[in-house]
């Protein structure tokens, strides 16, 4: 079997699995799997760019995904009335002051001659800066959070179309990645991993606690939809033309409208995925992509050839993280709400890694395939596990403690299965389903 035939077959199998879900379970579930699969595929392209192309070990994917979600709130929701005049400008001023403090400390650290005077100056700048920052910051956030805390209490957004939030999410993630990369990319792979793991936790902690930003754990609801493409169920159900078309398909208008909305999202996501996939493919084949792989395979040799390894690493780290940010923004748009407590590292960092490794690191199509396959399994392992547990426990008497425990625990088989798949692939097919050429 030739390479393209095999790959097409693999994609067809995954597509068939999703179709099978539609026929046997429900089309709603199937399209949900498709939508989240598309988003996961974009995340996987981002991670593949960093790991597959450049060998960067980033386990902070969750943080960049969450920043994308934050961007959606900051761009597309309406501003809270009065928040900016109450404290918004104060917050911006405080953040600028904080940034100025850090910049001043860095300048002192690089420009002043080393010695006790330098250390004292840095400490003095940091302490004074911290207290000035808190003095401006604390009253401002208190003022913003006092505005209608039950439904607002945050500064709100810019009220722009939600589609603009997707590139904004990418930009926000890229900015954070630039900051992180500047400090942490010189480190060895293990250290970079721990550093990114920590950054992701900090980003989530900020999003949970800074209520003025996006309401923290009180969540933001009712994020506007990309309406012209997706539409709202209620509007569709009252559109006579839509009802007629639904009737022609043999569906009742309510089901048809939910399906239509979801398919609208699928269409949008597919466009983004194809665009990013095309770009990643072009990058992989370009001289730039070859240089990246050369750096990955032998840093010393690449450096000897005059390649600036640190800058290239920073570049690809920022690019990959931006893609994860875009995916995060898309996901929050799909959910229609931002829930900071829903970001779990196992789900948003390590699962994406499983997708990339299983699909084939270094190969964009592999990453996309892995994303669809692993997401499908992530969703379907639960019902399969329940079925399996019911099968195992059929012989046991009803009401026995073991039986009910086994059936209750079926939901936790997900993580176990993902780990098993990862280990099996690493052992028996370490280059993944579609290996790098």
Partner 1 sequence: MDFLNALVALSNFVLVPAIAYGSQLALGALGVTLIYGILRFSNFAHGDTMAFGAMIAVLVTWGLQAAGVSFGPLPTALLALPFAILGCIVLVLITDRLVYRFYREQKAKPVILVIVSMGVMFIMNGLVRFIIGPDDQRFSDGARFIVSARDFKAMTGLREGLAIKTSQGITVIVAVVAVALLFWFLNKTRTGKSMRAYSDNEDLALLSGINPERVVMITWIIVAALATTAGVLYGLDKSFKPFVYFQLLLPIFASAIVGGLGSPLGAIAGGFIIAFSEVTITYAWKKVLTYLAPEGLEPSGLVQFLSTDYKFAVSFVILLIVLLFKPTGLFKGKAV
* DSSP per position, 30-60: HHHHHHHHHHHHHHHHHHHIIIIIT------
Q: Quick one: which of 384, 381, 332 has its CA closest to 354?
A: 381
Of the listed pieces 81-89, 159-167, 191-199, 311-319, which binds partner 1 according to CB under 8 A? Answer: 191-199
**Residue whose entry in the numeric block shows the structure tokens 């401006």:** 136
**Residue whose entry in the numeric block shows the structure tokens 């789900």:** 347
Nearest distance, CB of residue 190 and partner 1, angstroms? 4
* CB contact set of 216 (below 8 Å; sequence gap of 6+): 207, 208, 209, 210, 340
CA angle 218, 219, 220 (to 5 degrees): 130
Q: What is the DSSP letter of 224?
A: P
Asked if 193 is part of the footprint of partner 1 (rule: CB under 8 A), the reply reads yes
Output 8 or 183, the one with its CB closest to partner 1.
183
Asked if 190 is part of the footprint of partner 1 (rule: CB under 8 A), the reply reads yes
Of the listed pieces 15-23, 99-107, 297-305, 410-418, which binds partner 1 according to CB under 8 A? Answer: 410-418
Nearest distance, CB of residue 344 and partner 1, angstroms? 8
Nearest distance, CB of residue 435 and partner 1, angstroms? 15
Assess contact for 312 and 295: CB atoms under 8 A: yes
3-class SS at 76?
A: helix
In whole angstroms, how far apart are CA 368 and each of 29, 270, 376? Answer: 20, 12, 12
Of the listed pieces 4-12, 99-107, 195-203, 258-266, which binds partner 1 according to CB under 8 A? Answer: 195-203
Nearest distance, CB of residue 261 and partner 1, angstroms? 32
**Residue whose entry in the numeric block shows the structure tokens 């790991």:** 51
Nearest distance, CB of residue 418 and partner 1, angstroms? 5
Assess contact for 400 and 410: CB atoms under 8 A: no
Per-residue x/- mask for partner 1, residues 156 to 185, rule CB under 8 A? ---------------------------xx-
Rounded CA-CA distance 61/44 in Å is 10
Q: Quick one: which of 204, 201, 192 has its CA closest to 56?
A: 192
Residues 336-365 that bind partner 1 (CB under 8 A): 345-346, 350, 353-354, 357
Rounded CA-CA distance 334/40 in Å is 13
Asked if 208 is part of the footprint of partner 1 (rule: CB under 8 A), the reply reads yes
Asked if 413 is part of the footprint of partner 1 (rule: CB under 8 A), the reply reads yes
Asked if 417 is part of the footprint of partner 1 (rule: CB under 8 A), the reply reads yes
Output 142 or 271, the one with its CB closest to partner 1.
142
3-class SS at 290?
A: helix
Q: Return the structure tokens found at 131.
A: 């207290």
Output 204 or 368, the one with its CB closest to partner 1.
204
Asked if 25 is part of the footprint of partner 1 (rule: CB under 8 A), the reply reads no
Asked if 427 is part of the footprint of partner 1 (rule: CB under 8 A), the reply reads yes
Asked if 187 is part of the footprint of partner 1 (rule: CB under 8 A), the reply reads yes
**Residue whose entry in the numeric block shows the structure tokens 């761009």:** 75
Q: Return the structure tokens found at 425.
A: 């692939």
Nearest distance, CB of residue 415 and partner 1, angstroms? 4
Asked if 414 is part of the footprint of partner 1 (rule: CB under 8 A), the reply reads yes
Nearest distance, CB of residue 188 and partner 1, angstroms? 6
Q: Which one of 120, 123, 191, 298 is in contact with partner 1 (CB under 8 A)? A: 191
Per-residue x/- mask for partner 1, residues 369 to 408, rule CB under 8 A? ---------------------------------------x
Q: Which one of 422, 432, 433, 434 is in contact with partner 1 (CB under 8 A)? A: 422
* DSSP per position, 364-426: HHHHHHHHHHHHHHHHHHHHHHHHHHHHHGGGSPTT-HHHHHHHHHGGGHHHHHHHHHHHHHH
Residues binding partner 1: number (CB under 8 A): 44
Residue 135 is inside which H or E element, if any? helix 116-145
Backbone angles phi and psi of 197, in degrees to 5: -60, -45
Asked if 313 is part of the footprint of partner 1 (rule: CB under 8 A), the reply reads no
Rounded CA-CA distance 299/66 in Å is 32
Asked if 426 is part of the footprint of partner 1 (rule: CB under 8 A), the reply reads yes
Per-residue x/- mask for partner 1, residues 102 to 141, rule CB under 8 A? ----------------------------x-----------
Per-residue x/- mask for partner 1, residues 87 to 106, rule CB under 8 A? --------------------
The binding site for partner 1 (CB under 8 A) comprises 55, 57, 130, 183-184, 187-191, 193-195, 197-199, 201-202, 205-206, 208-209, 345-346, 350, 353-354, 357, 408-409, 412-420, 422-423, 426-427, 430
């Amino acid at each position: 079997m030739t390479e393209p035939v095999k790959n097409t077959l693999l994609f067809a199998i995954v597509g068939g699995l999703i179709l099978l879900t539609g026929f046997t379970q429900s089309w709603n579930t199937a399209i949900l799997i498709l939508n989240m699969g598309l988003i996961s595929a974009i995340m996987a392209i981002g991670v593949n760019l960093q790991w597959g192309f450049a060998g960067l070990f980033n386990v902070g994917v969750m943080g960049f995904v969450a920043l994308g979600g934050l961007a959606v709130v900051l761009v597309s929701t309406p501003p809270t009335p009065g928040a900016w005049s109450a404290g918004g400008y104060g917050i911006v001023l405080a953040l600028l002051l904080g940034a100025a403090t850090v910049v001043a400390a860095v300048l002192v650290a690089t420009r002043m001659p080393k010695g006790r005077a330098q250390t004292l100056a840095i400490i003095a700048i940091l302490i004074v800066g911290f207290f000035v920052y808190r003095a401006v910051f604390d009253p401002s956030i208190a003022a913003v959070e006092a505005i209608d805390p039950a439904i607002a209490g945050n500064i709100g957004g810019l009220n722009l179309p939600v589609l603009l939030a997707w590139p904004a999410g990418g930009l926000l993630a890229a900015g954070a990645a630039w900051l992180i990369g500047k400090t942490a990319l010189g480190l060895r792979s293990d250290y970079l991993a721990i550093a990114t793991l920590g950054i992701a936790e900090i980003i989530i902690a900020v999003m949970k606690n800074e209520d003025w930003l996006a309401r923290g754990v009180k969540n933001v609801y009712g994020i506007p939809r990309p309406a012209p493409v997706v539409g709202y169920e209620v509007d569709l159900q009252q559109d006579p033309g839509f009802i007629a078309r639904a009737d022609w398909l043999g569906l009742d208008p309510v089901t048809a409208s939910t399906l239509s909305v979801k398919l609208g999202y699928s269409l949008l996501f597919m466009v983004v995925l194809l665009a990013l996939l095309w770009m990643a493919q072009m990058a992989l084949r370009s001289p730039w992509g070859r240089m990246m792989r050369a750096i990955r395979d032998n840093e010393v040799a690449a450096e000897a050839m005059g390649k600036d390894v640190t800058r290239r690493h920073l570049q690809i780290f920022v690019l990959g993280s931006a893609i994860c940010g875009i995916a995060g923004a898309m996901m929050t748009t799909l959910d229609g709400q931002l829930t900071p407590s829903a970001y779990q590292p196992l789900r948003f960092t390590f699962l994406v890694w499983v997708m990339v490794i299983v699909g084939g690191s270094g190969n964009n199509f592999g990453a996309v395939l892995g994303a669809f396959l692993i997401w499908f399994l992530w969703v379907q392992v639960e019902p399969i596990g329940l079925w399996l547990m019911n099968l195992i426990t059929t012989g046991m008497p009803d009401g026995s403690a073991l039986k009910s425990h086994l059936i209750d625990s079926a939901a936790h088989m997900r993580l176990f299965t993902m780990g098993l798949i990862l280990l099996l692939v690493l052992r028996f097919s370490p280059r993944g389903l579609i290996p790098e050429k």
